[in-house]
Every structure is written in C-alpha cells, then in structure tokens.
Structure 1
Amino acid sequence: MSNIFEKLLSDKGFLLADGATGTNLFNMGLMSGDAPEMWNTDHPDRIRTLYKDAVDAGCDLFLTNSFGANASRLKLHDAARRAHELSRVAAEIGREVADTAGRPVIVAGSVGPTGEIMEPVGALSHSVAVEMFHETADGLKAGGADIGWLETISAPEEYRAAAEGFSLAGLPWCGTMSFDTAGRTMMGLTSADMVRMVDDLGDLAPLCFGANCGTGASDLLRTVLGFKAQGTERPVIAKGNAGIPKYHDGHIHYDGTPELMADYAVMARACGAQVIGGCCGTQPEHLRHMREALDTRTMTHPPALEEIVDRLGAFSSRGDGTGDDVREAPARRGSRRRRASR
C-alpha cells in the first residue's frame, strides 16, 4: 500500500474518524466570528488538546484545524497571506500528536470550501480556486499531514478544483460533500451524481468519498445508502452531525446523545461506510461510545429506512432528492428505544 490511510483501512476494515472541530473549540473558549485557524499559532496547546482528545477517544484518524485556511476565507480576518503557514502549523501539531499516540493514527488535513461561488454562477474562476486549494494542500503536506481531507462541499466545480489542488501538491486525499437540502447538496447534487462525478475524476479521484454534516444522522445514512446503491467499490465516508441543532440560552446545541451516536456508527457501517465519524456537535464522549459500539456490536444487514427513523429520528425530507420512491420513508420521529444489533 502506498499510504498509511490505505494500509490501515485494509488492515482494520473500517476506521473511526474524529468529531467536531468548531463545537469542541467553542467549548474551549473560541468566540463566534473568530477564525479557528488563528489558534494554531495563538493557542497551539488548545489545538493539541483537540487532537489528543480524539486520539484518546479511540479515533484512527483526526482532521486538522485548517477548515478555513484558504486565502478567500482568511481575507475576512486580514490574514489571506497566512493560508500556507496556518495550514502547515495545523498539520505540524497533528503530526506531533499522531507520532506520540503509541499506535498508527492518520493526520488528515482538513480543507473546507472557499466560501465563494464559482463560475459561471459566481465570480470565482477555476484557476484561482485551484491555486487556493493548492496553497492549502501544500501547507498541510509540508506540516506532515498523511492525507488531505476535503469536506462540506456543495458544488461539483469546487470539488473538481480541489482535486486538482491536491494533485499539484502531491497529497493523496479524501473528499465529502454536504447533502443538506432535501437529500441534495445546496447546489443540487444527489448521492448518485456524486458517485458519477468521483468516477469521472479518473487519476484525480479521492481515495475515499462520502458525506459529512448536512442535517441529522438519519439523513446522512440515507445518503450513504444512495452511494452504495450505485455499486461503487470506492470506500465511503459517513461523518454525520450529533443529532439536530437546537437554539438554547443563546447557543446552538446538538441533541444527539452518545448512545444515539453509537447506534449511528454501527448502522453507518452496516449501510456500507468504511470510515465513520461525527461532525457538528460530536464531542469526545460521543466518540468513545462510537468506538466501543464499533468494536463490540455488529449489524449484518443494511438497515431499512423505517429502522433508521425508528432508532435515529426522522428524516428532514420525505425523499432523498433522487425521485426514487424506494429511497423514501415517512418523515416521522421514531421511538429511539431499540438499539442497533449487538
């Protein structure tokens, strides 16, 4: 195998990825509107703690604090020229944590969207987008990231530009999109569309692809089932939110319990995902329950949509965006009383 990611996935069969970055940094004192990436140099001890908490919870892979470390996003904080530096430092801290973990742990360099709309709808050109993604990817590679990790993408044009950026940096990568609009990405892609897009990338294709964030865990599993229905043999990522966001006392909280996320992890694997983690709201306690569940519980069949609803809660929309009635189920709140098979 040419990369630690491929080798570890082959050896173990599935990998536990980490949880939220923003949620956990807010719990450490990050203020709304601040750029989390600035903490890589301003508070490296807190970023080290973020990574170590994921490793201590049993994760095989954690993402670096570099989601917004591109020139477009950083210019909002007068730091556009620091994209390479902040990406590099994020990975350097991660490399230190992984190398002292006592077991193989993958440092995945997080790369988020530029925050701009690409041509022809918007003003961002393909060449400029590739340049920005290349800069971030090169910084991550220089800092010691094992792989790049594209996440929360909505537009196929941006996904393709990132693929070129990773290629220019010589960094193998994985990439997820967010299916948060009635089973589609904000720019209209379905799960089936994503499989075709990834296949069409040819030599630029990611090692692994999938979905992150979106709405709740139920929706994300329905998207994973949509990927697998296309017959793809490429490993699939499931990185869902810890329940549904609720506004309480001036803050956003996610209602997913550690027990719910443990059920989600077992069901995600049964749906066909081989890399399973959490996104918004997912904290170390969630990850510990997910690790224990994946190591001790099995589910031998992909869950029916009704079973997903019963255990994880209602879908946010009746269909998954494809118009395929087979992928529909009543959008109702389940009892959540039963647990995934042991």
Structure 2
Amino acid sequence: MKYRNSLPQLNGTQMVADGGLETTLVFHDGIDLPLFAAFKALESQEGIDAIGRYMRGFARLAVKHNRGFIMDTPTWRASPRWAAELGVDRDQLREVHREVIATLVKMRAEHETPASPFVVNGVIGPHSDGYAPTEIMSASEAEAYHQTQVGWFAEMGADMVSAITMTYVDEAIGIVRAAQSVNIPVVISFTVETDGRLPSGQGLRSAIEQVDRATGSTAAYFMINCAHPDHFRSVLEQGGEWTKRIMGVRANASRLSHAELDEAEELDDGNPKEFGELHQELTQFLPNLTVIGGCCGTDHRHVEHVCIATQQPTAKAV
C-alpha cells in the first residue's frame, strides 16, 4: 500500500522507527562504514544480509506490537557531497536510491498487516557534519543541494522524506522547500546538545517555530534525534503549543555528549529497559508523539522496551 497522501502516523497510528543502523553495523556486525555511510555496506553480500536482517527484525517487532513501521532508507550519507568523497558518481548514487526503495517496498509486501502499516521513508542527512557543521548553507543553497535526493525519493516511490540530525535552521528550511516543490511529505528532525539546544546554539522551540514561519508550516511534523532523553526533557517540560509539532523521537542510548561520542571507541548502549521507561515519561510532554525509534547505540532491544513502556490499550500483550 502507498501512503504518501495519508501518512498513518498523522492519523494517530502509533509507529516504530528503527534504531542506530550505523552503530549496529559497525559495532555488532563488524562492517566498516567509511564516513559512517551505511549505503556503502550494500556493496558486499555481508552488508546486504546485515541490513536486511536488521530491518526484518524491526518489521517483526512492529507487527508483534500492533504498531506501524517507518522503514528508513540507509541513505543518511548518500547525498552528492558525501558520495563524491566516497568515490560514488551521480549515476551510481541514483541506482543506490532506486535499489533501496525497491527493497523496502518488497519487504513491506512481505510483512505489512492492516494493524501495522509500513511507510517507506527516504532519509536525508546534513550536508556538513551531523554534530558540528563546518559549512553553513543558506536556505536557498540547501534547497538546491538537497533537491537531488528529494527528487529521487519522490520519483522512485517513497511515501515521505525525513531530514535526520539537522543542526541548524536554514538547511531545514531548504529541505522543506525542496520537498514542497515535488509534493512529498517531509519531516525535520533536529539534534540537540546536552543543554537541549541545537549545535548552532539556537533553542529547539525557536528553531521549530522559525522553520514553520518560513515554510507556511508545511513540514508534516518535527522530530528530535541523536540525543539522550535527559538532554532535552527539561526543554519539553516548559510546554507550549510548539510541542504539538513534535511527533517523533529517536534518542541515543548513551548520555555522552556528541563530542564524547565522536571520540568513543566502544559502543555505549546504555540500559534498554531504562531507555523505554524514559520514553514513557516523554509522552507526558509530547501530546502528539506517535513515532518512536532509536539512534546511536540503540537496537531492537531498546525499541522493544519503548513499545512495552508506551503500550497502548489495544496492543498485543508481550
């Protein structure tokens, strides 16, 4: 089924996203990812098998808990700038996008149920570093840059696109405008530092409100990712209408800062049970929270505990 014109999470359906794909591939599967580019794993059968195993695990988890599944493409690092650094030309990059969408469409056909709708989500990453950007784009520059990936996702059958780990507002605005131009739903997911502010220093509320003002509130919703719940809970506790625009959270397992994670040589996967319980607390501050997954350091265990802790009355017993 295709959901572009009626995303189930916008109608209140509880959805799961996956966890930390890149950290799972590197630390659990022992697969080298140059520049943290998960799509490079698709160049070997070992990598193809690992990603397939990983995604099928989340598909089964979603069905088990009567939740939908947002199926992310492994393309966070598959934009032109990063591809060029990896020696991947435009034609090869386009084929990567075609193949990953076709794979997810097939997986959806194999696992989706009426109670668990599956959504194919084209993932876009930042043009610069996802923790400390060194190159800042204007909104118009970002729109032009990200138009390539956004256009491919719209053309090749993705239901939506999500810009993950956004560090500053102008790039987010450009991505929303690029998605508007091809009429595909778009989600903006900001990351925050341990003080709950974007790496740019801007407050989360201010960032969300600025994107909405500049784009006519046309982003489907906003998310927070790549930060531990402790890093942004106090910001959400302040409340306000703006919190209704946040419909998704994909948190890190670790309480370490971005700088500390960058230097870490071992995986900090935290406490999966506590991770779930912290998300139950977040539901008190995010009235429209319908999408929950994980980011760095998380895997199926963490997301399962989130499902258990935030279980709806109609969900299957575990």
TM-score, length-scaled by structure 1: 0.75
Query: Equivalent residue for 2:253?
Result: 242
Greater Rg by CA: 1
Cα pair distance change 1:266/1:136, threshold 3 Å: same
Which structure ranks higher in relative contact order (CA pairs < 8 Å, sequence separation ≥ 6)? 2
Contact persistence 1:44–1:93 (CA under 8 A):
no
Task: Give the counterpart of 1:278 among 294, 297, 317.
Answer: 294
Distance in 1, Cα, partners of 2:48 & 2:183? 27
Give 3-state SS (helix, strand or coil) of 1:287's partner.
helix
What TM-score do the two structures reach when normalised by structure 2?
Answer: 0.80
Residue 40 to residue 176, structure 1, CA distance change in 2 (3 Å):
same
Q: Is the 8 A contact 2:194 2:231 kept in 1?
A: no
Residue correspondence of structure 1 range 261-340 to structure 2 within 5 A: 261-272=275-286, 273-295=289-311
Deviation at 1:168, TM superposition (A): 2.6
User: What letter matches 1:266 in structure 2?
Assistant: Q
Taking only the aligned residue pairs, the percentage that are identical comes to 19
Contact 1:84-1:138 at 8 Å conserved across structures: no
Asked if the contact 2:249–2:292 (Cα under 8 Å) also holds between the matched residues in 1, the reply is yes
Quickly say closer, same or farther: Cα 1:143–1:93, change in 2 above 3 A: farther
> Are 1:100 and 2:110 counterparts?
yes
**Change beyond 3 A, Cα 1:47–1:169:** farther
Distance 1:260 1:253 in 2: 17
1:207 to 205, 220, 227: 220
In structure 1, the gaps of 5 or more residues are 298-342
Deviation of residue 11 (structure 1)?
Answer: 4.5
Q: Distance between the aligned counterparts of 2:78 and 2:57, measured in 1?
A: 22
How far has the Cα of 1:113 moved from its partner? Answer: 0.1
Matched, 1:163 2:188: no
- Shifted more, 145-154 versus 189-198: the winner is 189-198
Distance 1:181 1:243, change over 3 A: closer
Is residue 279–residue 306 contact of structure 2 (8 Å, CA) maintained in 1? yes
Conservation of the 8 A alpha-carbon contact between 2:20 and 2:299: yes
RMSD of equivalent CA atoms: 2.9
SS state at 1:56 partner: helix
The aligned counterpart of 2:49 is 45
Q: Following TM superposition, by how much is the alpha carbon of 1:9 offset from its aligned partner in structure 2, in angstroms?
A: 3.9
Q: Deviations over 1:3-56 (max 9, x none)?
A: 4663344243x3222211111221223215253212335443332222212112
Structure 1 residue 230: Cα displacement: 4.1
Q: What is the CA distance between 1:173 and its match in structure 2?
A: 1.1
Aligned to 1:71: 80
| Structure 2: gaps spanning 5 or more residues | 63-67, 314-318
